[in-house]
Chains A and B, each alone.
Chain A
């Protein structure tokens, strides 16, 4: 079995990081995922002795969770080349698609925390880096029961339609925001998270564009959780509702208080690109895992006395699978590297030692949105724009993340399905790893935005 790594620029440090992640993935994450997949009640995956915790703790023990935290906060962002995070995600996705997403999402609130103007919040990042016991787990709370994939529309001009406004709202009262609403059962790490990147509606007249971002600790009074979601695939990935009932959140936890961050602008598209490109990397590698299983099976099994891999029809199928997987994998890595490259130099690279730079960066971001907000209002009045569709997007590079995500997830489903056909009747047992990979892949074309909706939202930028 030989893959040629076509990325010849991988330095020795990155190769070592890749190796560490690979070993952890295959020795800990893959077997844990297989065990967790079999629990009939997803609640049991969260019991104290569950293999889930060994995965979280092991990941942190190896320091792999630091990859998206800047060096100034004890992390490795800006220290390693930008390819570090995609390389880790590749190995985790190869080991288990669901757990890979869980580990990735867990970092989100702490990666954002560095931009907060408040020291307490910025310090979360450092605490997260040092937390080896997995007592801090993050989630990305965006999707809502009556408001799912259309969040993605927020990155297009259609997102200023008031009918797309978030159901969860934050209203400022003095030093606090009063938060009411539901985040739906698709929130990854929803029932185990301690902190959330919380998307809140600030101005419902502006649809999704009228939303802001809070970094919300989830122990605040009035926050409750639903039962963990029981689903077809990615069963090791904890997902569940978070319910906010008159939650009083101190204003310092609001990271971006100016509506407009999730609009058709630079920030919205970077956000979409980062998330989608990480999905792309994860599931391109998951497709590779399915292909590897099929190849191994074909080499070691016979049907009616003929070795499978000797049959020309199987050879064609295997090679076409290989071609699809490699195309998706190379694309996904390239795109993800691009988006993480935006985070690394020069901003983070220049500030590897100075926390104060991040504070300034956060301030600048808020100032940028305030200015952008005013500019948009003036533009709409001066050009007499009344219908939101007439407002055009400023930046549209999110489409590359979407391109990677759609390609990778659809490849993962296709390749896992073809692998199942090669396995034949053996694939029908829930004990067969290919059955699990197929179910895991099937979830991915909906996860992080239904593929068709992503395409609609991103077509604007073509």
Chain B
């Protein structure tokens, strides 16, 4: 008897959407991820004929970039939180790098919508309507992980970018390393230290259109895993943006809205890694039924079944954690729990690495080759234990207020 799916989506429309995501992920995202992983140079990710563009366009045609963005701006508003978890999971199941790339863009535009400036709101409207050209893509620095910016503002290192007021504009200088989507994005959301001449500096959130003067995009970085995710440094030399493109993170209403988006991002990251783990498990299960060793499919060997069950149990634990946080966040959108987000992130990434590794072991030598999907899933998953906050550092931060 096949293993039952015990996920529950109560809203019918959301359930239909999740079904669409599953199909899109399997048909488009997965092959694109494999192709981009094998590309020799990181520039190939955003070449004209790259499958990346097909993925972005199809994603938007299905309106998958709309959930979370206000209906008044052309978005979809909030949808079934459990369905969102499963959608992120399906994308991670197909390709971790592209899943993060798509999510980063949506999350960045979610932030842009919060800033409230007219020009920016128009950009968000365009983003929602942009389903063919994909000329609007958002980007985030690698420091936008699962922990809130407010934490970084008080205890972390100072933001890498500084802004000095020049009339009604702000002049930005500094360098951001390893920005997600840096070479393909039209807009960047980042934290920034605003230094007015006579007042104490304050920590703000800025939206920076990347076509302006003074912005230099670095070379795309080669990576061990998640190679389909574009990453590069961005440097700013006296780049000017309107002062209204920056808001103080300490503003009461604004701060809570940023927290909500951080929680959304964390939820996405966690769910995508759970998807990667699930994918490795499904591959291992299917392979174990095909591969004959010692005169019988290896599925019939007790130790293989034991391994498969061990993987199943770990994945379900991590998936349940993600759904539990989603339920809580749906009810308390403005006060997410960061120890829980950090815990789920560490559990999900470590589960993905463990499970992918166990799956490789079941595949034997084939698990190590480029002809089978597992070595890629393993590399993609391994990146997660360091990206979005190194797991050990997250653990230390999460326990600080306990």
Residue A420 at the chain B interface, CB threshold 8 Å = yes
Interface residues in B298-332 (C-beta closer than 8 Å to A):
303, 307
Are A232 and B364 touching (Cβ within 8 A)? Answer: no
| Per-position binary interface string of chain A over residues 291-334, scored 1 when its CB falls under 8 Å from any chain B CB and 0 otherwise | 00000000000011100000001000100000000000000000
**How far apart are A41's CB and chain B's nearest CB, in angstroms?**
9
Segment touching A, from B189-197, B270-278, B389-397? B389-397
Count residues of A near B (Cβ-Cβ below 8 Å): 48
**How far apart are B33's CB and chain A's nearest CB, in angstroms?**
16
Determine the distance from Cα of A425 to Cα of B292 in the docked complex, in whole angstroms: 41
**How far apart are A161's CB and chain B's nearest CB, in angstroms?**
7
**How far apart are B297's CB and chain A's nearest CB, in angstroms?**
12
Which residues in B have their C-beta under 8 angstroms from that of A158?
294
Complex: chain A residue closest to B178, CB-CB: A425
Which residues in A have their C-beta under 8 angstroms from that of B393?
303, 424
**How far apart are A350's CB and chain B's nearest CB, in angstroms?**
40
Which residues in B have their C-beta under 8 angstroms from that of A149?
293, 364
Interface residues in A227-243 (C-beta closer than 8 Å to B):
229-233
**The residue from A229, A428, A445 contacting B224, defined by CB atoms under 8 A apart:** A428
Residue A91 at the chain B interface, CB threshold 8 Å = no
Residue B118 at the chain A interface, CB threshold 8 Å = no
Are A313 and B369 touching (Cβ within 8 A)? Answer: no
**How far apart are B125's CB and chain A's nearest CB, in angstroms?**
35
Which residues in B have their C-beta under 8 angstroms from that of A384?
none
Are A424 and B386 touching (Cβ within 8 A)? Answer: yes
Residue B222 at the chain A interface, CB threshold 8 Å = yes
Which residues in A have their C-beta under 8 angstroms from that of B391?
421
Given A229-B369, A230-B369, A425-B364 contact (CB < 8 Å): no
Interface residues in A415-452 (C-beta closer than 8 Å to B):
417, 420-421, 424-425, 427-431, 435, 438-439, 442-443, 445-447, 450-452
Determine the distance from Cα of A143 to Cα of B366 in the docked complex, in whole angstroms: 12
Interface residues in B89-146 (C-beta closer than 8 Å to A):
142
Are A304 and B156 touching (Cβ within 8 A)? Answer: yes
**The residue from B40, B303, B371, B385 contacting A452, defined by CB atoms under 8 A apart:** B303
Which residues in B have their C-beta under 8 angstroms from that of A313?
392, 396
**How far apart are B391's CB and chain A's nearest CB, in angstroms?**
7
**The residue from A147, A153, A230, A421 contacting B386, defined by CB atoms under 8 A apart:** A421
Determine the distance from Cα of A441 to Cα of B369 in the docked complex, in whole angstroms: 14
Are A163 and B361 touching (Cβ within 8 A)? Answer: no
Are A148 and B396 touching (Cβ within 8 A)? Answer: no
Residue B260 at the chain A interface, CB threshold 8 Å = no
**How far apart are B347's CB and chain A's nearest CB, in angstroms?**
15
Complex: chain A residue closest to B302, CB-CB: A456
**The residue from B157, B225, B364 contacting A428, defined by CB atoms under 8 A apart:** B225
Residue A277 at the chain B interface, CB threshold 8 Å = no
**How far apart are B222's CB and chain A's nearest CB, in angstroms?**
5
Are B357 and A150 touching (Cβ within 8 A)? Answer: no
**The residue from A164, A420, A446 contacting B360, defined by CB atoms under 8 A apart:** A446
**Which residues does A use to contact B, with CB under 8 Å?**
40, 143, 146-150, 153, 158, 161, 163-164, 184-186, 229-233, 303-305, 313, 317, 413, 417, 420-421, 424-425, 427-431, 435, 438-439, 442-443, 445-447, 450-452, 456
Cβ-closest 7 pairs across A and B:
A163-B295, A232-B375, A230-B370, A186-B365, A231-B368, A435-B224, A40-B40
29 A-B residue pairs with Cβ-Cβ distance under 8 Å, sorted by A, are: A146-B292, A163-B294, A164-B295, A229-B369, A231-B368, A231-B370, A313-B392, A313-B396, A417-B382, A420-B385, A420-B386, A421-B392, A424-B390, A425-B142, A425-B390, A428-B223, A428-B383, A429-B224, A430-B222, A430-B224, A438-B382, A439-B224, A442-B357, A442-B360, A443-B368, A445-B361, A451-B361, A452-B303, A452-B307
**Which residues does B use to contact A, with CB under 8 Å?**
40, 142, 156-157, 178, 221-225, 292-295, 303, 307, 353, 357, 360-361, 364-365, 367-371, 375, 378-379, 382-383, 385-387, 390-393, 396
